[in-house]
């Protein structure tokens, strides 16, 4: 069905067809718009429709998913455009960093924060931070060094040290978008939270590293530089998080205070969208990491704000945020697919197919090694600190974490364009961009389609009860039992110091569970009364606008 | 609360404040984005938040509404920007026709079609078409002639005949956006459907007239030109409507056929958004009227597609479309408010305050006369054809229809920029733009704030039971009774010719009700089995994603 519209839209692309309307009276030119924009939008929206329909039809197919469908459909559309324009240019829209970072990425990351299982996420917070920060730095170093050593042997000589380091940062940015599609939050919650959480922190780390490389003065490097870098990162991490938390709490407070008793679904939803987007812009304006900000804003909004609105607002926000994020994701893959055939770049690079393949495979190999170099060692170090056998990350799980994080996506492409397209164009810069595109396409298509079957084969088929995947809901209950047990001997003469000692003992033996328990107590006592949240706001069945529901008969 | 963010966002505007971050390490420059875009977006989103909050607080106030709040807030923001930039320039974003016609107008018009009471709308279809088409042409002629006669006396001499006709078209475009806010679909359903329906058709007519004027060859005007113009208009009207209907039916068919039994709220919602937007783009691409297309697409979608999706999709689409439309509306008024202080244009116009006031008041007076010249005569002509006293449009209602349609809005501004900003700049072109802005501001603020109290004073206070406002739900029942009655004498030997004769008699005496009755029969027999719709699709309680609802505790 949708291909019909698609064809109609594509027809508009040919100059021949444009002039075929000439027989209509000239007064027909009722359009005030820029035709090329309309054509580009038309094609993109038609392709998006096609992606959704095809993705739905392939839902039962475990190898395919919407990302890969979009990527392939984008490639096909690129070929068609290339043929229609007779090899002149393949893309309707140039890859724009503004479009990507301002409009497409924020809804995806916000929705991830909004829908993430918060308990699970914070339980694995140490692991996520370790992988996301240290891991990315390790990967960055290995890829940079690898590029430095190997590229000269292949014959790429004009890149300087800044370019090498930039490639390290560019190739360290994993793709959190496709990960969301191949990992299931319900089937493998532990892996999902680790890989996805790492992806968010990793994106932020990569972007900070990338920017540091660009602004660093390589003539005066000393020990102080590294220290300054660490300070910068910590500053960015904490201020960005704080901004996100503050914006989320502000939205909860406004809706709880102002809208009490006079709910309007449309206003509530509008306010939530705007207040979700605003901190991202503010963070970018203050040169913080917008990704981290919007992610934590999403978490706070789902914990407080979401419970302060009407039932219909809850349903609307939940699905609307998910849908916007889904459209943005599909759009990105379509975009990357269409941009892959950027014929100008391929011509500019002047590289033989052999060189191009050598560079791309070297980069992908470095990505593989760079990721392996931190996942396995760091996971084993973490295992040493875990006393409970079931909380350890098993080798099979490590393998899946390694594999699922290999995908490179739109962040990589955006950074690559930023580094190599804006500077004075040399054939080797163009070669870097085309190689990046090849790595992104290859990793997304191969890793993306293999991950689901791989998880089934490795983890789910011969499934042993891995408790780290199962013990999610019992932990709080467990803790209460532990608290009772440890308090049991002194139960009759329950004095204060003994209790405090037992709390401390628990904090050491079950750190995350204990922190969660005390957070809940703090949340119930101080936070929820002010900011609302589950059970702290009277239930509002539906908004007044909902009353018009059954009056729409024709 | 929101003003805090607002202030923070405004701080970023001053160059002084931008450089106050200099003490931070240079690695902090984590932003890859165009700073001016981020600042503009930040300010706009903060102002939108402020509008919603202030609009909510003023809800009880019958003089104010969100449009006027947005307009005034935009003006204030313009003043602040002007002061910060020391009088250099007042706007963060230039008024862009692409932004307005591509992204802001379509969701508003689509939502209007989606939420309109279809029965009421089609019942008044003749009146709407008469006012929207003939009325606009009358208004266009009167304003053009008035401008032609008066402007030379004021001292504006450089405008040619094309400019005069263009002003006629520009000033004939009523604002359907503010109308939606001041008229209530529940309190005054008849007036709402007339004024709003007329607004949609009127926008289309004005744009066609405007484009006709721009492309017309004034050296060869003959009787054939007028005929060609009518032909063009009919062609545009019917093809645009057909495209909208086809796109709506296609979406209903796809969702009914493909998604049957495997519903996914996010996919359904995504498909509905995309398939609502696509026909607008297609219409613009084919040089049809996108406004008409997207309006009828909205009507079909609410009649068929909306009933084919899950319960949560219904709630989500209903509120999400309304919210998007609401944000777009508020954004437009904010935009117009900020753009009003376009200091460059004011300087360029070189006109004294007196000339400027004279031109603006002349234009507004012509708008008043132009609208009066078709509302009262056409309404009285219509009344002559109505036999039932209660179906006639009373003088008080005529007065409200006249008054509520006086507002001029973003379409007027967009057309004015198109005519006078793109051509070679002359002081008098700039004067036309500033005068248009004054008319828009004045009419929106005055008419917008007075309409609600006026309706209360004129119609609701000394309310007589005006049946045209009340007989909405009984008409079908009425018809069944009529059918029974007319069939009554031949009830025992009910032969076919007598029945047909009685149907024909009914069609003549109750045309709209009869058409509605037969449409319902046709709809139930042929349309709904194919395209779905109320009662023709099994009820789907909720989507699978809804299952995660109660697992989001922290």
A268-287 pLDDT, tens digit per residue, is 899 999 999 999 999 988 88
Q: Which two tokens stand for residue A137?
A: 């730095």
Indicate the burial class of B384 (C-beta count within 10 angstroms; 0-12, 13-18, 19 or more): exposed
Length of chain B in terms of residues written: 554
Half-sphere exposure of B452 (CA within 13 A, CB side): 18
Q: In this complex, is the C-beta atom of A228 within 8 Å of any C-beta atom belonging to chain B? A: yes
Q: Residue A35 and residue B285: Cβ atoms within 8 Å? A: yes
Q: Which B residues 59-78 touch A at CB under 8 Å?
A: 59
Q: Which B residues 266-285 touch A at CB under 8 Å?
A: 266-267, 269-271, 273-275, 277-278, 281-282, 284-285
Q: Which of A38, A48, A269 sits opposite B284 (nearest CB)?
A: A38
Q: Which of A122, A236, A270 sits opposite B30 (nearest CB)?
A: A236
Q: In this complex, is the C-beta atom of A416 within 8 Å of any C-beta atom belonging to chain B? A: no
Q: Residue B29 and residue A302: Cβ atoms within 8 Å? A: no
CA distances from A60 to A65, A190, B212, B257, B349 (A): 10, 24, 53, 17, 65
Kind and range of the H or E run holding A417:
helix A410-420
Q: CA of A390, closest CA in chain B: separation in Å?
A: 22
SS3 at position A419: helix
Closest residue of A to B266, CA-based? A323
Q: What pLDDT is stored for residue A13 in this prediction? A: 34
Residue A230 has a CB neighbour count (10 Å cut-off) of 12
Average pLDDT, chain A: 77
Number of continuous H segments (helices) and E segments (strands) in chain B: 27, 0
Q: Residue B30 and residue A97: Cβ atoms within 8 Å? A: no
Q: Residue B278 and residue A552: Cβ atoms within 8 Å? A: no
Indicate the burial class of B477 (C-beta count within 10 angstroms; 0-12, 13-18, 19 or more): exposed
Q: Which two tokens stand for residue A177?
A: 């978008």
Angle at A332 between CA A326 and CA A334, to 5 degrees: 100
User: What b-and-e string marks burial along B105-121, b requiring 16 or more CB atoms within 10 Å of the CB?
Assistant: bbbbbbbbbbbbbbbbb
Q: In this complex, is the C-beta atom of A523 within 8 Å of any C-beta atom belonging to chain B? A: yes
Indicate the burial class of A345 (C-beta count within 10 angstroms; 0-12, 13-18, 19 or more): buried
In angstroms, the CA B216 to CA B203 distance is 20
Q: Which B residues 85-124 touch A at CB under 8 Å?
A: 97-98, 101-102, 115, 117-119, 122
Q: Which range has the worst mean pLDDT, A215-219, A225-229, B486-490?
A: B486-490
Q: CA of A509, closest CA in chain B: separation in Å?
A: 21
Mutate to test the interface with A, among B3, B32, B50 (most CBs of A within 10 A): B32
Q: CA of B437, closest CA in chain A: separation in Å?
A: 20
Q: Which of A32, A303, A318 sits opposite B101 (nearest CB)?
A: A32
* Percent helix / strand / coil, chain B, rounded to 5: 75, 0, 20
Q: Which of B48, B288, B323 sits opposite A30 (nearest CB)?
A: B288
Q: In this complex, is the C-beta atom of A215 within 8 Å of any C-beta atom belonging to chain B? A: yes
In angstroms, the CA B475 to CA B515 distance is 12
Please state the pTM of the whole predicted model: 0.81
CA distances from A521 to A242, A245, A527, B349 (A): 21, 19, 10, 66
Kind and range of the H or E run holding A15:
helix A15-19
Q: Residue A271 and residue B52: Cβ atoms within 8 Å? A: yes
Residue A365 has pLDDT above 90, yes or no: yes
pLDDT tens, position by position, B215-231: 666 666 677 777 877 78
Q: Which two tokens stand for residue B480?
A: 């069944």
Q: In this complex, is the C-beta atom of A236 within 8 Å of any C-beta atom belonging to chain B? A: yes
Nearest Cα to Cα of residue A272 among B320, B154, B493: B320
In angstroms, the CA A202 to CA A139 distance is 11
In total, the C-beta contacts within 8 angstroms joining chain A to chain B are 293
Closest residue of B to A284, CA-based? B31
Q: Which of A273, A302, A319 sits opposite B552 (nearest CB)?
A: A302
Kind and range of the H or E run holding A53:
helix A35-57
SS3 at position A174: strand
Q: Residue B101 and residue A48: Cβ atoms within 8 Å? A: no
In angstroms, the CA B343 to CA B366 distance is 26
Closest residue of B to A419, CA-based? B32
Q: In this complex, is the C-beta atom of B193 within 8 Å of any C-beta atom belonging to chain A? A: no
> DSSP string covering A194-236, please?
HHHHHHHHHHHHHHHHHHHHHH--TTS--HHHHHHHHHHHHHH
Q: Scanning the structure block, which residue is given the tokens 């220290």?
A: A227
Nearest Cα to Cα of residue A216 among A171, A416, A208, A147: A208
| Whether the Cβ atoms of residue A348 and residue A425 lie closer than 8 Å to each other | yes
Q: Residue B262 and residue A38: Cβ atoms within 8 Å? A: no
Q: What pLDDT is stored for residue B275 in this prediction? A: 93
Neighboring chain A residues of B216 at a CB cutoff of 8 Å: 27
Q: Residue B281 and residue A41: Cβ atoms within 8 Å? A: yes
| Whether the Cβ atoms of residue B81 and residue B36 lie closer than 8 Å to each other | no
Q: In this complex, is the C-beta atom of A476 within 8 Å of any C-beta atom belonging to chain B? A: no
Predicted confidence band at A374 (pLDDT cuts at 50, 70, 90)? very high
CA distances from A161 to A165, A429, B133 (A): 6, 14, 68
Intervals of chain B under pLDDT 70: 1-33, 61-62, 87-95, 215-221, 259-263, 342-345, 422-425, 460-512, 536-554
In angstroms, the CA B472 to CA A148 distance is 78
Angle at A415 between CA A413 and CA A416, to 5 degrees: 60
Mutate to test the interface with A, among B232, B261, B278 (most CBs of A within 10 A): B278
Q: What pLDDT is stored for residue B13 in this prediction? A: 34
Q: What pLDDT is stored for residue A257 in this prediction? A: 85
> DSSP string covering B79-143, please?
HHHHHHTTTS---SS---HHIIIIIIHHHHHHHHHHHS-HHHHHHTHHHHHIIIIIIHHHHHHHH
Closest residue of B to A521, CA-based? B554
Most trustworthy range by pLDDT among A32-41, A377-386, B508-517: A377-386
Q: Scanning the structure block, which residue is given the tokens 């990315």?
A: A136
- C-alpha A380: how far from chain center: 26
| Whether the Cβ atoms of residue A341 and residue A114 lie closer than 8 Å to each other | no
- C-alpha A94: how far from chain center: 22
Angle at B170 between CA B207 and CA B444, to 5 degrees: 115
Mutate to test the interface with B, among A8, A10, A28 (most CBs of B within 10 A): A28
Supply the angle between the helices B265-285 and A311-339 in degrees, to the nearest 10: 60
Q: Residue B282 and residue A231: Cβ atoms within 8 Å? A: no
Q: Scanning the structure block, which residue is given the tokens 């009325």?
A: B135
| Whether the Cβ atoms of residue B371 and residue B139 lie closer than 8 Å to each other | yes
ipTM of the complex, rounded to two decimals = 0.79
What's the start-to-end Cα distance of chain A, in Å? 27
Residue A408 β-bridge partners: A174
Q: Which two tokens stand for residue B494?
A: 């009910």
Q: In this complex, is the C-beta atom of B187 within 8 Å of any C-beta atom belonging to chain A? A: no
Q: What pLDDT is stored for residue A113 in this prediction? A: 86
pLDDT tens, position by position, A126-169: 888 889 888 999 999 999 999 988 988 887 777 888 888 889 99
Neighboring chain B residues of A267 at a CB cutoff of 8 Å: 52, 55-56, 326
Residue A12 has a CB neighbour count (10 Å cut-off) of 18
Q: In this complex, is the C-beta atom of A36 within 8 Å of any C-beta atom belonging to chain B? A: no
Q: Residue B281 and residue A313: Cβ atoms within 8 Å? A: no
Q: Residue B258 and residue A53: Cβ atoms within 8 Å? A: yes
Predicted confidence band at A324 (pLDDT cuts at 50, 70, 90)? very high
HEC string for A321-359:
HHHHHHHHHHHHHHHHHHHCCCHHHHHHHCCCHHHHHHH
Q: CA of B463, closest CA in chain A: separation in Å?
A: 24
Number of continuous H segments (helices) and E segments (strands) in chain A: 27, 0
In angstroms, the CA B454 to CA B403 distance is 9
Predicted confidence band at A245 (pLDDT cuts at 50, 70, 90)? very high
Q: Scanning the structure block, which residue is given the tokens 């607008």?
A: B280
Q: Which range has the worst mean pLDDT, A74-88, A304-318, B309-323, B434-448?
A: A74-88
Q: Residue B215 and residue A26: Cβ atoms within 8 Å? A: yes
Q: CA of B427, closest CA in chain A: separation in Å?
A: 24
Predicted confidence band at A260 (pLDDT cuts at 50, 70, 90)? low
| Whether the Cβ atoms of residue B330 and residue B48 lie closer than 8 Å to each other | yes
CA distances from A456 to A121, A187, A453, A459, A462 (A): 23, 10, 5, 6, 9
In angstroms, the CA B277 to CA A285 distance is 31
In angstroms, the CA B521 to CA A352 distance is 69
Q: What pLDDT is stored for residue A289 in this prediction? A: 82
């Amino acid at each position: 069905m949708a291909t019909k519209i698609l064809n109609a839209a594509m027809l508009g692309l040919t100059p021949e067809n444009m002039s075929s309307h000439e027989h209509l009276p000239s007064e027909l030119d009722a359009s005030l718009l820029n035709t090329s924009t309309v054509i580009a939008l038309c094609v993109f929206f038609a392709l998006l429709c096609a992606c959704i329909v095809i993705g739905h039809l392939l839902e039962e197919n475990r190898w395919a998913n919407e990302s890969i469908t979009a990527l392939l459909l984008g490639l096909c559309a690129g070929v068609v455009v290339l043929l229609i324009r007779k090899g002149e240019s393949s893309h309707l829209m140039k890859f724009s960093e503004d479009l990507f970072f301002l409009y497409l990425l924020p809804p995806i990351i916000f929705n991830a924060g909004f829908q993430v299982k918060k308990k699970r996420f914070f339980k694995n917070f140490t692991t996520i931070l370790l992988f996301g920060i240290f891991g990315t730095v390790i990967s960055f170093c290995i890829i940079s060094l690898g590029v430095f050593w190997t590229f000269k042997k292949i014959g790429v000589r004009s890149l300087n040290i800044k370019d090498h380091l930039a490639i390290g940062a560019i190739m360290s940015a994993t793709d959190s978008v496709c990960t969301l599609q191949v990992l299931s939050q319900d089937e493998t919650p532990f892996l999902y939270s680790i890989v996805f959480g790492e992806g968010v922190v990793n994106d932020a780390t990569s972007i900070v590293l990338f920017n540091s490389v660009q602004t660093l003065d390589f003539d005066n490097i000393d020990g102080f530089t590294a220290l300054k870098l660490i300070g910068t990162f910590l500053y960015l991490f904490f201020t960005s998080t704080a901004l996100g938390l503050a914006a989320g709490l502000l939205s909860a407070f406004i809706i709880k205070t102002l809208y009490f008793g006079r709910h309007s679904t449309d206003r509530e939803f509008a306010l939530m969208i705007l207040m979700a987007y605003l901190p991202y812009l503010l963070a970018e304006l203050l040169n913080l990491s917008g990704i981290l900000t919007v992610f934590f804003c999403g978490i706070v909004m789902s914990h407080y704000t979401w419970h302060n609105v009407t039932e219909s607002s809850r349903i609307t926000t939940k699905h609307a945020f998910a849908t916007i994020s889904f459209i943005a994701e599909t759009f990105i893959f379509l975009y990357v697919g269409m941009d892959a055939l950027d014929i100008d770049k391929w011509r500019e690079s002047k590289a033989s197919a052999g060189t191009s393949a050598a560079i791309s495979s070297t980069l992908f190999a470095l990505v593989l090694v760079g990721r392996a170099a931190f996942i396995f060692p760091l996971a084993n170090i973490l295992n040493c600190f875990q006393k409970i056998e079931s909380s350890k990350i098993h080798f099979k799980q490590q393998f899946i974490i390694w594999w699922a994080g290999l995908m490179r996506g739109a962040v990589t492409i955006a950074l690559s364009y930023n580094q190599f397209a804006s500077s004075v164009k040399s054939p080797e810069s163009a070669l870097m961009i085309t190689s990046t595109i090849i790595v992104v396409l290859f990793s997304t298509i191969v890793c993306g389609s293999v991950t689901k079957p791989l998880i089934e084969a490795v983890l789910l088929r011969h499934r042993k009860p891995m408790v780290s995947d199962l013990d999610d809901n019992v932990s709080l209950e467990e803790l209460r039992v532990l608290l009772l047990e440890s308090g049991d001997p002194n139960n009759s003469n329950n004095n204060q110091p003994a209790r405090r000692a037992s709390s401390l003992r628990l904090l050491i033996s079950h750190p995350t569970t204990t922190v969660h328990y005390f957070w809940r107590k703090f949340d119930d006592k101080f936070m929820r009364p002010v900011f609302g949240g589950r059970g702290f706001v009277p239930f509002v069945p539906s908004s007044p606008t909902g009353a018009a529901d059954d009056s729409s008969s024709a």
